[in-house]
Chain A
Amino acid sequence: MILFRRFIGRALWRDPVRTAVTVAGLTLGVAVVLAIRLANTGSVRGFERALELVAGRTSLELVGAGVGVAEPALAELGWLREHGRVSPVIDRTALVLTPDGTEWPVRVLGVDILRDQPFRDYRLLQITEDNLDDVRPQDFLELLVDPGSLILTEQFASRHGLTLGGPARLVVGDVVHEMSVRGLLRDEGPARVVDGQLALVDIATAQWLFARIGWVDRVELQLFEPEAIDEIEAKVSARLPEGVQVQRPAQRGRQVEKMLAAFHFNLNALSYIALIVGVFLVYNTVAVSVIARRREIGTLRALGATRGRVLRLFLGEAAALALVGAGLGAPLGWLLAQGAVRLTSTTVNTLYVTSAATVPSLGLADLLLALGVTVPLALLAAAQPAAEAAAVPPIDAVRQIDPSAQARRASRRPQVVAAVAFAVAAWCSTRPPVDGLPLFGLAAALAVVLGAAMLVPALLSWLQRVGRAPLARWLGVEGLLAHANLSAAVSRLAVSVAALVVSLAMLAAIAIMIGSFRETVAYWVGQTLQADLFVAVGDRAPVGAPLTISADTEAQLASHPQVRAIDPFRNVDLPYGPDGDLIILGAGDFQVLLDYGGLLFKAPADARTAMRAAVDADAVVVSEVFANKHGVSAGEWISLDTPGGRRSFKVAAVYYDYSSDRGLVVMDRRTFTRHYGALRPTGMTLYLDPDADPDGVRDELLAAAGPDTRLFIQTNATLRQEVLRIFDATFAITYALEAIAIVVAIMGVAATLLTLVLERRHELAMLRLVGAGRRQIRRMVIIEATLLGALSQGLGLVVGFVLSLILIYVINVQSFGWTIQFHLPVGFLAQSTLLVAATTGLAGLYPAAVAMRTSGGDRER
């Protein structure tokens, strides 16, 4: 231990910059991995926590096919009483307009207040001004008779100036309801959902408010014998009528988790890039210290240290770095997670599910994960240099050693590894996904990265041979010197350069993928968005909490003289297939779509004819994602759950869609109503007379709707922009993760350069002696840095291109199932190349300054 402290500790201490860079790199790597992990858990946990709070003591629940349970079916379920207490529930979202002028989404729970009490721990705080403490259910009675009553949480009411007995305005879809606050819930049980954003109403009121007369969203069951849940679930399941399923409340959480799995998996994978780059730095640090201290190692060996002891010393160095990195990275990760949640929650809320994501607190498990991932990786990275150190013979203590002697020891081994890696990559990219996750695709990407990294030394040697003349010609004597310096240090630089190449290749690949995706989406939007106006309620409806358009509003829109046709659409979430994946079932007016719309069909060739046959028939069109994920093609039949039981629908056509990775099944409005009942639409597309001015009509429609309207109408042009804006917001986190990885990598290059500079103190002094100016020295070092940057970017672009093909054609297809047209974002790549060169040049400033100081100091001595 003393030896470790003296030999390793002191050396790390004496080279603070490199040690700091390595630790910082690891810290950032660990932090990013943890941040994404925490943020991902946070978004699912937020949903699950709300689920648990609302579910209360519910053991089982009965759900219908996407649209809930119809009352006639419910009336037949009296026998459920044998197993436990039964409570029908309507569970929705609405907005409360508060007296302070703000509006807040609230979860509206509609329950049979008379029988729901045992299910949830809500306690009415007050019901009259008498301030009664615990109110019995009979006091809920007044809530029953007045359909304008609602109960809010004490927390929410006091925060927004709402008072007991006072008015509250509740916005459901595009209708504002004047309600009154009849009770306040104490801050416990479901009242704790999302900062108390919960409203409780009677189920009759809820049915009326949300236009669900005749339906309930689900039926909850609290078992008398919760320990026999498995047996009872099976019994209930066997006795339920068609169209009603029994599940556990946590099932909804699992469905959401599954829905987000691909998105989260890819974010996770991306987050590991920064850590891998950090591990490269560990390798670099250990390797450099082994090379630089060959004589000392020799001395140690001569003094009796065994090989094993030397090996342990250097592995110890890596472990120490990893421990510090993980220790610092964990709290930093938690901080970063706050930002990551903000970045990802937009995406999650836009595309998947509304949940108030909160970052869970840092647990022991997270710390263990940080250590468990970082320390082994660091040890693995240090294994080779440490083994080399252990192989140093004692004689080296007295032998004059050229630190760069290693460079000349040419070895073919890396090229062989590279070749094998590329072969593995090629094989992996033909493998199918594992459990819906692109594991082989990622393995392929990893293999390409590994292969590229292995090629870096050979490439550097080759460039060393061909680069001398051009450098001398373009950059003069400093260029020549830079070339000489870099050539001398190829083996050591190779690692830093490889790290940078890996990061830059990833960036290039992701840029190409996103650029291609964006082009594809832009083309799709251009083809598909044909309507003139798009009507919705609010500027964006949260997923799972549809904001509906009332019948009055629909009639008003249709009555505008320049509106030629209206296509109202409605989506519901529907479990599909053996795993119960949540797909989106949509209803639209096929006739209007055929006459005016512009779906982009993939198959069959005469898709329009097929779709015409699907009007008011038991037929559907499905998105490409759905077809890929579930192996369905045009002309086949699929089974969908409906409130009346499982029904077969013919797949009339497959169309391109980029609005969701969950898979869409769309049927004609008439077909939908026949099977699922009439639901108010969540959006409408309006087709106008050819000579109409969309902006003008939009203004007229909004004016007719009145100043308080909740309607949000977009023209074709603004919606297209909006789609691309959402697209860009979705990928913001991707760029953020990548940027962090690149920062780590550039720090690595700077650290390596610094090492070189420090080792070359004597040479630099000599240069000064032979007449080199301080500025020339600086220029030389900056040229070295910039050269490395440009080189890395060049190689990064090539590798990135290959990676992007894997991303687009393997990983994307396996995790999302989209067709992405390949497109090179030339402008972006050119910009990033310049930027990387400039940044590495800048990163060279510090080593350059050190070089100037050292060389100057040497001269004065």
Chain B
Amino acid sequence: MRGWRFVCVVAALLAVLDVMVSTGVGAQDRGATTSDGWRQATSGYSMAFPRDHGSHPDYRIEWWYYTGNLESADGGRYGYQVTFFRVGVDPAPENPSAWAVRDLFMAHLAVTDVDGGRQWVAERLERGGIGWAGARTGTLEVWNGDWQAELVGESHSLVAFDREFGVELSLDPGKPPVLHGEAGLSQKGETPGNASHYYSLTRMPTTGRLLIDGDEVEVFGTSWMDHEFGTSFLEPGQVGWDWFSLQLDDGSDVMLFQLRRNDGRAPRLAGTWVAPDGTTRIIQPGDIELADGRRWTSPASGAVYPVEWRLSLGDPSAELGVKPMLDAQELYTEESTGVTYWEGAVEVSGEVEGRPVRGLGYLEMTGYVGRPMSEFFR
């Protein structure tokens, strides 16, 4: 779900390709998005692990997304995000060169030092080329340069370092995989096929070390992993989204999102409730209310983000307040993908079924700056 901002890039690319095809400029004919060899996400797909931790090259878009809240022995609080993307470009390039682009691989790394009030960000954009980026099928092994996520026994091993900061973490699976939507098929648009296969590991006990401003810190905490793959997700009129992953101290986990539209229609809402024992429940759109609160203006991009939220759920009934650990958690990616968004560690407090709860989580907000997403769909 969360990687939609990258879908913008893909959409831009597809728009360009469509222009090329329609004007006959392209060297080879490429058909519509679904008729050029990519598989659609449809019902009937049955997830199995560890196979589905691996890559699904038949589908155009795929991402592996890790976020987490960590702390050090002396009580320092940290957040991190490591994301790997694969975006299919041409399932069978005509050019025999190894550099011919079948897929593009992107990756983002962010570390937040909550007490230091600072966030570090790095990103990578690579082609598969001669193996400098890629993803294996059958099991978890995805890499972009020397950033990588792989399965070591049952654990997910994450390594990603920039020059001054980075993470080296080991994540236990925790609860069993949570399949979102209908048995893992998450409908994104109104048209059938505009969907993805989507599962999460919502509460992964995590240990390892962080590199912060050149200093190493031993850390422990809880992570959240998303893995999603599909071919076509988006529909016209979508301007952005707000996405929440929350881990509550009663053992429950919550995933919520709203897709904001620019045509005056109400946002599309969806969510999943994960009980402490791992059982899941779809939260119906009618049971979700999201209210944005305090705003923060990014000095870098000028975007105004609602960094505080109130969430009201019907079943189970919950009232939750979400506050950022740090306001300045914007990823300003003018240099590469050019899509700027806010993604950061948050703390949550409120009550569930009348009992007080606290918790930690991650919040992603997109579409608050730059060209509206709908522009990519002209």
Segment from A144-152, A256-264, A352-360, A470-478 that makes contact with B: A144-152
Segment from A199-207, A370-378, A413-421 that makes contact with B: A199-207
Contact call A207/B99, Cβ cutoff below 8 A? yes
Contact call B27/A146, Cβ cutoff below 8 A? yes
Residue of B20, B163, B338 near A142 (CB, 8 A) is B20
Contact call A145/B146, Cβ cutoff below 8 A? no
Question: When A74-B130, A146-B26 are in contact, do A204 and B16 touch as well, CB less than 8 Å?
Answer: no
Contact call B13/A204, Cβ cutoff below 8 A? no
Contact call B97/A204, Cβ cutoff below 8 A? yes
Say whether A523 faces chain B, with CB atoms less than 8 Å apart: no
Say whether B96 faces chain A, with CB atoms less than 8 Å apart: yes
Majority secondary structure, B binding face: loop
Contact call B101/A204, Cβ cutoff below 8 A? yes
Contact call A144/B163, Cβ cutoff below 8 A? no
Say whether B227 faces chain A, with CB atoms less than 8 Å apart: no
Encode contact with A along B57-90: 1 for CB under 8 Å, 0 otherwise: 0000000000000000000000000000000011
Contact call A112/B334, Cβ cutoff below 8 A? no
Question: When A78-B145, A138-B9 are in contact, do A204 and B163 touch as well, CB less than 8 Å?
Answer: no
Say whether A9 faces chain B, with CB atoms less than 8 Å apart: no
How many whole Å from A142's CB to the nearest CB in chain B? 5
Say whether B31 faces chain A, with CB atoms less than 8 Å apart: no
Contact call B99/A202, Cβ cutoff below 8 A? yes
Task: Please indicate the chain B residues that have their CB under 8 angstroms from the CB of A136 in the complex.
Answer: 334-338
Contact call A75/B99, Cβ cutoff below 8 A? no
Residue of B9, B20, B99, B336 near A112 (CB, 8 A) is B99
Contact call B27/A147, Cβ cutoff below 8 A? yes
Contact call B125/A75, Cβ cutoff below 8 A? no
Task: Please indicate the chain A residues that have their CB under 8 angstroms from the CB of B25 in the complex.
Answer: 165, 180
Say whether A214 faces chain B, with CB atoms less than 8 Å apart: yes
Say whether A115 faces chain B, with CB atoms less than 8 Å apart: yes
Residue of B26, B104, B131 near A75 (CB, 8 A) is B131
Q: 11 A-B residue contacts at CB 8 Å?
A: A81-B145, A114-B127, A141-B89, A145-B17, A146-B26, A146-B27, A202-B99, A203-B97, A208-B95, A213-B96, A213-B98
Say whether B296 faces chain A, with CB atoms less than 8 Å apart: no
Encode contact with B along A585-603: 1 for CB under 8 Å, 0 otherwise: 0000000000000000000
Contact call A112/B129, Cβ cutoff below 8 A? yes
How many whole Å from B96's CB to the nearest CB in chain A? 6
Residue of A75, A78, A144 near B89 (CB, 8 A) is A144
- A224-B145 Cα distance, complex, nearest whole Å: 16
**B interface residues with partner A (beta carbon < 8 Å):** 9, 12-13, 16-17, 20, 25-28, 89-90, 93-101, 104, 125-127, 129-132, 145-146, 163, 334-338
Residue of A nearest to B336 (CB): A137
- A224-B101 Cα distance, complex, nearest whole Å: 27
Contact call A205/B146, Cβ cutoff below 8 A? no
Within A206-228, the residues touching B (CB, 8 Å) are: 207-208, 213-214, 224
- A147-B99 Cα distance, complex, nearest whole Å: 11
- A214-B90 Cα distance, complex, nearest whole Å: 20
How many A-B contacts at CB < 8 Å in the complex?
87
Encode contact with B along A16-54: 1 for CB under 8 Å, 0 otherwise: 000000000000000000000000000000000000000
How many whole Å from B341's CB to the nearest CB in chain A? 15
Within A691-705, the residues touching B (CB, 8 Å) are: none
Residue of A nearest to B129 (CB): A112
- A145-B100 Cα distance, complex, nearest whole Å: 7
Contact call B27/A148, Cβ cutoff below 8 A? yes
Contact call B99/A78, Cβ cutoff below 8 A? no
Residue of A nearest to B9 (CB): A138
Task: Please indicate the chain A residues that have their CB under 8 angstroms from the CB of B28 in the complex.
Answer: 146
Contact call A205/B132, Cβ cutoff below 8 A? no
Contact call A207/B97, Cβ cutoff below 8 A? yes
Question: When A81-B146, A115-B126, A148-B27 are in contact, do A208 and B101 touch as well, CB less than 8 Å?
Answer: no
How many whole Å from B98's CB to the nearest CB in chain A? 6
- A114-B146 Cα distance, complex, nearest whole Å: 17
- A207-B9 Cα distance, complex, nearest whole Å: 26
Contact call A142/B95, Cβ cutoff below 8 A? no
Contact call A146/B146, Cβ cutoff below 8 A? no
Question: When A112-B127, A138-B336 are in contact, do A145 and B132 touch as well, CB less than 8 Å?
Answer: no
Task: Please indicate the chain B residues that have their CB under 8 angstroms from the CB of A207 in the complex.
Answer: 95, 97, 99
Task: Using A112-B129, A146-B20, A204-B97 as known contacts, list a sample of 7 further A-B pairs with CB atoms less than 8 Å apart, ordered by residue number in A.
Answer: A136-B334, A136-B336, A137-B125, A145-B89, A145-B93, A205-B97, A213-B98
Within A75-94, the residues touching B (CB, 8 Å) are: 75, 78, 81
How many whole Å from B8's CB to the nearest CB in chain A? 9
How many whole Å from B356's CB to the nearest CB in chain A? 46
Residue of A nearest to B15 (CB): A142
- A482-B25 Cα distance, complex, nearest whole Å: 86
Say whether A728 faces chain B, with CB atoms less than 8 Å apart: no
- The 5 A-B pairs of least Cβ separation, nearest first, read A204-B99, A148-B27, A204-B97, A207-B97, A204-B100
- A203-B95 Cα distance, complex, nearest whole Å: 11
- A679-B131 Cα distance, complex, nearest whole Å: 25
- A224-B12 Cα distance, complex, nearest whole Å: 32
Task: Please indicate the chain B residues that have their CB under 8 angstroms from the CB of A205 in the complex.
Answer: 95, 97
Contact call B13/A141, Cβ cutoff below 8 A? yes
Say whether A71 faces chain B, with CB atoms less than 8 Å apart: yes
Encode contact with B along A168-209: 1 for CB under 8 Å, 0 otherwise: 000000000000100000000000000000000011110110
